[in-house]
Structures are given as structure tokens and as C-alpha cells.
Structure 1
């Protein structure tokens, strides 16, 4: 039972996950690495389950994910209680997963709308919108901007709006690669920019355009949102650029198919916690999304 779990051991598990090593967790907790190792071993013996895979990076088992979610919820509730009582440190740390394009456009201005009195320290983890829900499920974050509408177990889900992407390229790229054939014939073989190997927006657009399933173009991986748009502007390839970023590039970028935007619905998922801080952040994110998203 959760009530039988030694809280110092549960907090130690959370520290190991957040710090990603036993030595770093020991430094954060002001104990020795052997004490950290002993606490984790005792917690595993108490639960009868392996909680951590001692790999690099450290990975949680399914049982470990359950306990980390419990530990993070407990930490947030403790911070809220201390703040309301006026005792101890009132700064709360909030872990949030967010996709790179939201982070580069509307998300930070939204967080700036959180009232200063809430006194939050944000710990943002960047991940593809199709994978941010996994971080919630693993207990690594408390909230996430995600493409997944179905709530993760123990979470609520609210729709934020649609982030619109447009297939963009530079005028010089169009002249070199796309001027001698219809777009549906030329684009699948033209060089392409992708954010990383999880980024499937370009292929999604190509499937809708051509009704084909697979493509083997030259594909450059540029894992930074602004640099991604810079690469498209420089003519390295074409790519699906957020409408919010494309507008600032003016004539340097051309929309290859103005009638075929690609919309990605975004949702806000958060743990079911009665936390004033979490509610304040959710409200600010919803207000920012209402202004920026479709």
C-alpha cells in the first residue's frame, strides 16, 4: 500500500530519475551515493519489484513509473501546502513536456501569463508532440502539450487548438527542384528538411498529396525549431513550417500548396491534482493557446 511506503525512499527514487545518476541524486539530497543505492534497493525489496534499469540513461520499469508519479504528486502537494501556510520555500518546480514548435512560438509567452505570486520554477522537457504523452505516462513530467487527445491514466485532457503547418521552400529551391514537373511528381524526390527521426509531418503531407505510402528523398535532420526554418530559407530542402514562424520570413519562403495546410491538434494533459499552481499554469496555457492557435 502507498501508505506503507517510506517517503524518504520514494523521494530518493524521484531524485535518481530527475538527476539521472545515483551520484547526482546523492548530491541533490545531501547524502552519500551508497545511501541512495541502499534506499532504492530497500524500496525494491519492499515492493517486490525492480523499479530502475541501471542503464545510461537510467530507465524506469512500469512499477517504477507508478512510484515516480506518486512521488512527483506528493512533492507538488507538499509545495502547495507549504506555500499556503507561509512555511518553508514557496518556489515550486513544475515539469512540463512541450513540442519544439510550440516552445519556439507561443508557449513561452503563455507561461509569462502565470501570475508572479504563484512563484513557479519551470522545468521544460522538449519532445515531439506525438511522444510527450509518454513522458506523462512515465511520471517524468506533470503536464504536457501533446497531440494525444486520450488522457493518460490519472490525467485530464483539454483541447488547446490547432497548430497549422505549411509546406514551404525558398524561391531558389523551387526553381531548381520543383519548376519542371507538377508538385505531386517533383516534391517526393526533392530534398527535405525534417526536425528529427520522429518528425513525420513532411511524409504526412506527401501522403495526402500523392496518395503514396513511402518516400525516399534526401532528408536533412535539423533538430532546432529556428534552425529548421533557417535551413528551409537557405534552400537546403523544403519542410513543413509552422504558420506562426513562416509569417516572419516574408518573401524568403514560398507556400508550395496554399490550399493544403496541415493542422496538428494540440491538447493539454495534466495530472489530476488539486494544485493551485498547476491550475494557474493550465489557465495561462489555455489563454495563450486561444490567442496563438486556430
Structure 2
């Protein structure tokens, strides 16, 4: 049995675009033709590869086919580049990264790769505890993740550690912690969380003996806006050194004490020989090790 590459790439296009109609526009064929290709793929494999929801989602068999389609596209690009026959074609490399890394150190290494190679990056932002799942499903080729154990079919390199410290604006601290940062004050002072999956503040509170259900919580799901919310005094939160150093230096931010929360980060990528993907990895790993070692450590 073989999997026709055009059928695999059609499934990947549907996953990328979210609907059959959008995939049809991208592939310059009709939605009916997309549906026929998916049916042909499922008949050939004897398995369902796609759940026709909105947006669509793949089955485990579909995940494997999407990974194959992306690997074929990557290897094809590398081969054409090696023989000088790419003809101006631009490779698309999907990557997963946590919000704090994306907002602080992740883009410069991608720019360096893009300056010397015909490549664009399709970035997927998610909590570092969940980016490995995007590798498993074939959505991305590589990811910044907190998972040290390799995803099946992937290899792992250490990036370093991001360190988060609890901070608040000077005005917020004066209002909510006039007698010091104790358990009673922390139980009442508003907290800023990134989203409902952000547990950094919860970890820090638990270490201080504060019942985690007590403090009122803001949710600000963007890294720079999260830092701004803390700096403006909306609530307190844990920030990496990248985002807190300036405010701590000029006195507009204050440390709340307690142990920092450290999050080790790793680079996981597909375990295949690809000059393009290896170039991306080398740049990202070098930048991560340089910047994270200097800053301390990351989170979201």
C-alpha cells in the first residue's frame, strides 16, 4: 500500500485551513474535489482520517498522514534547493512556541534564517506544556516545549530555563501590601493570569500557603499585555526578567519575594535529515541558550 502525495497534501491543506471550502481555495480546486480526494484517501487506508466538524479535526490516522505530507514537502524543498532548482519556491515551516518566548527572544533567530533562505514561518502559540501535542498531531515540525521526554519520531535539545519572579507595581504594592506580603494580603490582592491554563501564579501562591481559590483573577492572554497589566497595577503576576528588569531598575515595579518559578525549555523537532529544519534548530537553540542563560528562565 502507498499513500499518494496529492491526497496527503490535500488532507494537510484541509487541516491548515480549517474547512474544505478554504482548502479548495488554497489548492485551486472545487470543494467537491477536496471531498473526493479525502474519500479516496480514507478508502485506500481503510480508516477515517478526518472528522468533518468546524473546524475540522484529524483522527490518529489523519495525524500520521499530515506528518507525512509535511515531511514530503520539507524534503522536496531541501532537494530542490540542493540542486539549485527551487525556482523561487518558498518553504513554509510551522513551529509551536510559548507566548513569553515569542514576545521576547524567539523571533531574531527566525529572522536570521529567513535572511539567507527562502522560508516563511507559520507560528502556533500555545502554553509550553501543550506545544508538544502539536508535534504529535503533525501540525508543526518543531516546538519550544517544557517536555523533556522526546515526542515519538522527534529529537530533543535543551534551551535553558526561564525564571519568573512575582512582581507588582509600586502603587499596587502600597495599596494591597501596606503591612507586607503576607498570606492574608495575598488572599485578597487581585492576580493577573495569562489564561485559564496558566498555573504559575497558582504555584507561587500554593508555596506561600494561600488557598488558590481566594484571590480574584484577571486574565490577559497576550504576553506584552500581561506585563503591561502588571505594570499598570491591575494585579500582581510572575514576569520573566526580560519584562520586569526595566521596571525593577526604575522602581515602578517591586518584587513580592518568595521563591521564583523556574520552567525548563526544550527544542523538539522531527527526527529527519533536513538542512532547512536543522538550520532553524541551530539558530533557535543558540539564541535560547545565550538569552535564557543570561536571563535566568520561562513560562507561558
Q: Do Structure 1 and Structure 2 share a fold, with TM-score over 0.5?
A: yes
Q: Cα deviation per residue 1:226-262 (whole Å; 9 max; x = unaligned)?
A: 11111111111111111111113332211111x6221
Structure 1 position 213, deviation (Å)? 6.4
Give the TM-score of the pair, scaled to structure 1: 0.94
Larger deviation: 177-186 or 139-148? 177-186
CA distance in 2, matches of 1:216, 1:114: 47
RMSD: 1.5
Q: TM-score, normalised by structure 2?
A: 0.92
Aligned ranges for residues 1-294 of structure 1 at < 5 Å?
Answer: 1=1, 4-87=2-85, 88-114=87-113, 116-180=115-179, 182-210=181-209, 214-249=212-247, 250-257=250-257, 260-294=259-293
* Post-superposition offset of 1:86: 1.6
Structure 1 counterpart of 2:297: none
CA distances 1:94-144 after superposition (whole Å, capped 9, x unpaired):
100000100110111222232633222111111111111111111100000
Partner Cα distance (1:216, 1:57) in 2: 36
Q: What SS is found at the alignment partner of 1:148?
A: coil
Contact 1:14 1:68 in 2 (8 A): yes
Instruction: Give the secondary structure class of the aligned counterpart of 2:155.
Output: strand
Gaps of 5+ in 2: 294-300
| Contact 1:118–1:280 (8 Å) recurs in 2 | no
Determine the C-alpha separation between the residues in 2 that align with 1:252 and 1:274. Answer: 49
**Aligned partners of 1:154 and 1:272: how far apart in 2?**
6
Describe the superposition over 1:68-97 as per-residue Cα deviations: whole angstroms up to 9, x where unpaired: 111111110011111112223442111000
Inter-partner Cα distance in structure 2 for 1:103 and 1:73: 24
CA–CA distance in structure 2, aligned partners of residues 146 and 67 of structure 1: 23
Larger displacement relative to structure 2 (34-43 or 47-56) = 47-56
Q: State the Cα distance separating 1:28 from its structure 2 match.
A: 1.1
